[in-house]
């Protein structure tokens, strides 16, 4: 299937590693020109070189922190300055810390809100005029299965990401008339640095081994294994593609069947 991504311009936020990087890689593999951002220059540069080497595509790295409005604007503008248009926005950020209600204070809630909700809002504000100008567009936001089924010890993620799903469903209504689709992709346990650090924390706080910590996740997944970042990236590339032109307002799990709810 030709995804129709050749020549499209995409901004993928928080993409020096993990799911963001895998999404950027897959978009580049399909012929899109891809701008990526993250906070640390060295790793970002390395990711950009890796994607360009592997795909032969054009990759623009820009150091930017998505918790800052000015950085989000600079990131999107850099892609538009380089390529003259924007077709696809993938919003993403690091995950909030794990813990239960009494582990956190109001400041922690504000930080999680800023990192995982407002970052999405500010990237969309930055991208929207350009998507409208292009006459069509794709907004894909990386959330979590935690917004569909709460996960133990992840209260910040559980609560804040549900708000992002409310945003996505509303924007799908508001932006549909502009031929812009808005969808969320909800990862289940996929082996990235983020998951490694959650596993490590479980080892430290619960006195279990790394194998036991992994088994606790895997036992909830019908496919009987953790996901791979490229399996996630492929879904993002599909949603970004011409082939997904009638998919709008979807909150799509990539979780090996972990979520049991019917909605
Ligand atoms: P990761 O930690 O492997 O990668 C996160 C990326 O975001 C890195 O490139 C990092 O440099 C960048 N980043 C972090 N904070 C940033 C900021 N403020 N500004 C710009 N860049 C920033 O994480 P991941 O596994 O790829 O996860 C991506 C998102 O998906 C996270 O929000 C995570 O909580 C969520 N998620 C992941 C899983 C999983 O199993 N991997 C499951 C559910 C949800």
* Residue 261 belongs to some domain of the structure: no
Q: Kindly tell me if the per-residue pLDDT of 109 is higher than 90.
A: yes
Model confidence over 75-107: pLDDT tens digits?
999 999 999 999 999 999 999 999 999 999 999
Are residues 197 and 179 located together in one domain of the fold?
no
* Residue 74 belongs to some domain of the structure: yes
Model confidence over 126-181: pLDDT tens digits?
999 999 999 999 999 999 999 999 999 999 999 999 999 999 999 999 999 999 99
Are residues 162 and 34 located together in one domain of the fold?
yes
CA of 16 to the centre of ligand 1 (A): 9
pTM for the model: 0.98
Are residues 37 and 132 located together in one domain of the fold?
yes
**Per-residue pLDDT at 64:** 98
CA of 15 to the centre of ligand 1 (A): 8
CA of 120 to the centre of ligand 1 (A): 13
- The CATH number of the domain holding residue 86 is 3.40.50.720
Are 46 and 16 in contact by the 8 Å Cβ rule? The answer is yes
* Residue 2 belongs to some domain of the structure: no
The number of domains in the chain is: 2
Are residues 125 and 137 located together in one domain of the fold?
yes
The percent of the chain in helix, strand and coil, each rounded to the nearest 5, is 55, 15, 30
CA of 135 to the centre of ligand 1 (A): 30
* Residue 260 belongs to some domain of the structure: no
Q: Kindly tell me if the per-residue pLDDT of 122 is higher than 90.
A: yes
Are 66 and 121 in contact by the 8 Å Cβ rule? The answer is no
Which pair of tokens denotes residue 194? Answer: 């983020």
**Per-residue pLDDT at 60:** 98
Q: Kindly tell me if the per-residue pLDDT of 258 is higher than 90.
A: yes
Are residues 238 and 173 located together in one domain of the fold?
yes
| Cα 229 to Cα 3, 92, 108, 214, 245, distances in angstroms | 19, 14, 28, 16, 24
Pairwise CA distance, residues 52 & 100, whole Å: 41
Are residues 60 and 142 located together in one domain of the fold?
yes
Cα angle at 75 between 74 and 77, to 5 degrees?
65
Are residues 48 and 111 located together in one domain of the fold?
yes
Tokens 């998507």 correspond to 131
What are the pocket residues of ligand 1 if the criterion is a CB atom closer than 6 Å to any ligand atom?
Answer: 14-20, 37-39, 65-67, 92-95, 142, 144, 187, 189-190, 192-195
Are residues 165 and 196 located together in one domain of the fold?
no
* Residue 198 belongs to some domain of the structure: yes
DSSP annotation of 117 reads: I
**Per-residue pLDDT at 263:** 81
Strand partners, 190: 227
% residues pLDDT > 90 (the chain) = 99
Pocket test for ligand 1, best of 95, 151, 156 (most atoms within 8 A of CB): 95
Cα angle at 233 between 162 and 252, to 5 degrees?
35
Nearest ligand 1 atom to the CA of 95 is 34
Are residues 128 and 236 located together in one domain of the fold?
yes
pLDDT tier at 55 (50, 70, 90 boundaries)? very high
Query: Domain range for residue 53?
Result: 9-188+229-253
Kindly state the average pLDDT of the residues 5-14: 98
Are residues 236 and 123 located together in one domain of the fold?
yes
* Residue 70 belongs to some domain of the structure: yes
* Residue 93 belongs to some domain of the structure: yes
Are residues 107 and 197 located together in one domain of the fold?
no
Are residues 82 and 196 located together in one domain of the fold?
no
**Per-residue pLDDT at 191:** 97
The residue whose CA has the least distance to atom 10 of ligand 1 is 14
* Residue 3 belongs to some domain of the structure: no
């Amino acid at each position: 299937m030709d995804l129709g991504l050749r020549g499209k311009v995409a901004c993928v936020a928080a993409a020096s590693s993990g799911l963001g990087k895998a999404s950027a890689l897959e978009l580049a593999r399909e012929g899109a020109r891809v701008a990526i951002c993250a906070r640390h220059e060295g790793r970002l540069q390395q990711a950009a070189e890796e994607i360009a080497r592997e795909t032969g595509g054009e990759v623009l790295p820009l150091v930017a922190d998505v918790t800052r409005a000015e950085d989000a604007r600079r990131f999107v503008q850099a892609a538009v300055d380089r390529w003259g248009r924007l077709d696809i926005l993938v919003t993403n950020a690091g995950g909030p810390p794990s813990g239960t209600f009494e582990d956190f204070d109001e400041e922690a809630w504000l930080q999680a809100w800023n990192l995982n909700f407002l970052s999405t809002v500010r990237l969309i504000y930055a991208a929207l005029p350009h998507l409208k100008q292009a006459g069509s567009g794709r907004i894909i936001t990386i959330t979590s299965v935690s917004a569909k089924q709460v996960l133990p010890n992840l209260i910040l993620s559980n609560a804040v990401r549900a708000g992002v799903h409310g945003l996505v469903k509303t924007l799908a209504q508001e932006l549909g008339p502009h031929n812009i689709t808005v969808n969320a992709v909800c990862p289940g346990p996929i082996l990235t640095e983020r998951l490694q650090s959650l596993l490590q924390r479980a080892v430290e706080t619960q006195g279990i081994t790394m194998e036991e910590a992994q088994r606790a996740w895997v036992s909830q997944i019908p496919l009987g294994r953790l996901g791979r970042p490229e399996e996630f990236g492929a879904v993002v590339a599909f949603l970004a593609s011409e082939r997904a032109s009638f998919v709008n307002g979807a909150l799509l799990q990539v979780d090996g069947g972990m979520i049991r709810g019917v909605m």
